[in-house]
Amino acid sequence: MTERVDILVCGLGPAGAAAAEAAARAGLKVLAVERNARPGLPVQCAEFVPQMIGADVPDVRASRVQDIAEMETYVGGEPADVTPDFRGYMIDRAAFDQALIAKAQAAGAECRFATPVQSIARDGMVTAGGQEITATLIIGADGPRSPVGRAAGRPNVDLVETRQITVDLLRPHAATDIFLRPEIVGGYAWLFPKGAVANLGLGVVPGRKADLKSLLVALHAQLVLEGRLGRRVHHTTGGLIPVGGIVGLATRIGAVPVLLAGDAAGLTNPVTGAGINAAVISGRLAGEAAAALLGGDAGALEDYAEEVSDTFGPSVALAVRRRRALVETYRGTAMPGPGALRDGWIAYPQYWTRDRMGIAHKETRMAEETA
C-alpha cells in the first residue's frame, strides 16, 4: 500500500538530517530515507570544518579530532604560502552525521536506511526501497547526483571527481595543506591532518578521472620521501563534488513542492569543495520552510530560496567565476602558471580583490571555504 507522510526527506547526510529534525520539531509526520545501510557511512569527505560552525552546530565539537590553526598553500614546487589564523576542526565525519541523525530521530522523524530512491513520478509519487510513498512536500538532500533534483529538472551538471586515502601522519601538524598544480586539472590536492593520520586526496574534472590514482600515488610518494607520511594506506574513498553553482532551491515535481538543500542544490563551494556548513544551514532552513508552508505560510518556499541565496549565493557565484577562469586557461595545449593558480585560490588577495562582490564578502566568507 502507498505510505502517506507530510514531508519526505531524501538523503540523511548533514542537510537531510538537519531538515528532518527541523520539520519534525514542528509536529509533522516526517520520513527520511537514505540509500546507504549505515548512518554516516561511507565517509566521502575531507572532514575539515571552519571554527565558526562550532558555535552554531554543537555536534562539531563533540566529533572533533584535532584543531587546525592555519593553511599552507603549495603552488607547483614553490615553498608554502602560509595563511595564519585559518582556524577550524578536523572531525570524525561519521560521528558528526550520526549525531545529527540521532537528533532528527529524537525530534520524531522516522529515518530509514538501505532505502534508495528508485523512481519519482510526475505526480510526486516516490518509490524508495520498494515502498511507494506520497508526501505533501519533498526535500531533496540526496547529494550531487540527486534523484529529486533530476526529477524536478534541477540536476547538477558540472562535477569534480575525487579520490582520497587515509595514511599515517609521522609528525604533528596543525595546518590544512593545499597543493595547486597545473596537472591537477579543475581541482587541487589536499593533506588534512587528523591526529595520528591524515586525509590525502585530490579532485579533477571528469575528463581527467583516469589521472586520479596516478596523481595521488605520486603525491603520496613525495610526502613519504619528505618524511611526513607513512606508506601504508588505511582507507580509500572518493566521490563527486558539484562545482557549477546553485542549481535550484525551491521548485516542484508536478504539483508537489520541492526544496533542495546541500549538495543537491549545488551549494558546495566550486573552488574549495566546502559543503558541510552550507548543508547544515540549508537543511535546517528547508525543514523550517517546509513546516511553515504546511502551516499556512504561502510564501515560505520563496523565503527559503531568498535566505539561502543571500547567505551563500555571493561566495558560490564568485567561486564559479574563479574556477571557470582557471579552467579556461587549459584551452588547447596551454597550462596555467603560478599566477593563474593563485588567482583561483582563496588564500590569495587577487581571488577577492579583482571582484567587488568578492571584496565585500572576504572577511565573512574566507574561513568557510575549505572542507
Provide the grid cell at 195: 591526529
Give the DSSP letter string of 319-353: HHHHHHHHHHTTSTT----HHHHHHTSTTSHHHHH
- Same domain membership, residue 232 and residue 99: no
Q: By the 8 A CB rule, do 341 and 184 touch? A: no
- Same domain membership, residue 229 and residue 164: yes
Q: What average pLDDT does range 20-46 have in this prediction?
A: 93
Examine residue 132 and state whether it is found in any structural domain, yes or no.
yes
**Which among 291, 315, 339 is the end of a domain?**
315
- Judged by DSSP in three states, 286 sits in helix
Q: What average pLDDT does range 30-42 have in this prediction?
A: 92
**Which among 213, 242, 271 is the end of a domain?**
242
Give the DSSP letter string of 160-190: EEEEEEEEEE-S---EEEEEE-TTSTTS-EE
> What is the chain's mean pLDDT, rounded?
91
Q: By the 8 A CB rule, do 139 and 259 touch? A: yes
- Same domain membership, residue 291 and residue 187: no
Provide the grid cell at 140: 531533496
- Same domain membership, residue 73 and residue 141: no
Q: By the 8 A CB rule, do 117 and 126 touch? A: yes
- Same domain membership, residue 224 and residue 141: no
Task: List Cβ neighbours of 112 (8 Å cut-off, separation of 6 or more).
Answer: 31, 32, 33, 34, 128, 129
Q: What average pLDDT does range 244-252 have in this prediction?
A: 96
For position 73, which CATH number holds? 3.30.9.10
For position 277, which CATH number holds? 3.50.50.60
Separation between Cα atoms, residue 203 and residue 71, nearest integer Å: 18
Please give the pLDDT value at position 51.
75
Q: In the chain, how many H helices and how many E strands?
A: 11, 18
353 band by pLDDT with thresholds 50, 70 and 90 = confident
pLDDT at 43 over 90: no
Percent of the chain with pLDDT over 70: 92
362 band by pLDDT with thresholds 50, 70 and 90 = very low
Examine residue 32 and state whether it is found in any structural domain, yes or no.
yes
pLDDT at 55 over 60: no
Please give the pLDDT value at position 332.
73
- Same domain membership, residue 177 and residue 261: no
Separation between Cα atoms, residue 320 and residue 303, nearest integer Å: 24
pLDDT at 89 over 70: yes
Give which of 27, 61, 69 is closest to 290, Cα–Cα: 27
Compute the radius of gyration of the chain from its Cα atoms: 20
Count of beta carbons in the 10 Å neighbourhood of residue 81? 16
pLDDT at 174 over 60: yes
Please give the pLDDT value at position 50.
80
Q: In what order do the strands lie in the sheet with 88-91?
A: 48-50, 88-91, 64-68
Examine residue 58 and state whether it is found in any structural domain, yes or no.
no
Q: What average pLDDT does range 307-334 have in this prediction?
A: 92
The residue with greater pLDDT, 52 or 21, is 21
Chain-centroid distance of CA 169 in Å reads 25
What total of structural domains would you count in the chain? 3
Examine residue 50 and state whether it is found in any structural domain, yes or no.
no
- Same domain membership, residue 348 and residue 234: no
Q: By the 8 A CB rule, do 203 and 162 touch? A: yes
- Same domain membership, residue 106 and residue 29: yes
| CA dihedral of residues 108, 109, 114, 117 (deg, nearest 10) | 160
Sign of CA dihedral 59, 263, 282, 7: negative
Q: By the 8 A CB rule, do 261 and 282 touch? A: yes
Residue 265: domain span: 3-43+93-157+246-315
Please give the pLDDT value at position 363.
37
Q: What average pLDDT does range 202-224 have in this prediction?
A: 96
Task: List Cβ neighbours of 306 (8 Å cut-off, separation of 6 or more).
Answer: none
Q: What average pLDDT does range 268-289 have in this prediction?
A: 95
Examine residue 165 and state whether it is found in any structural domain, yes or no.
yes
- Same domain membership, residue 100 and residue 39: yes
Place of cell 534508495: 116
Sign of CA dihedral 169, 172, 177, 181: negative
- Same domain membership, residue 347 and residue 251: no
**Which among 242, 273, 306 is the end of a domain?**
242
Examine residue 59 and state whether it is found in any structural domain, yes or no.
no
> Which helix (H) or strand (E) is 71 found in, with range?
strand 70-75
Chain segment 252-273, per-residue pLDDT in tens: 999 999 999 999 999 999 999 9
Q: What average pLDDT does range 228-250 have in this prediction?
A: 96
What's this model's pTM, rounded to 2 decimal places?
0.91
Examine residue 188 and state whether it is found in any structural domain, yes or no.
yes
Please give the pLDDT value at position 367.
42
- Same domain membership, residue 139 and residue 122: yes
- Same domain membership, residue 343 and residue 310: no
Chain segment 144-158, per-residue pLDDT in tens: 999 999 999 999 999
The residue with greater pLDDT, 43 or 111, is 111
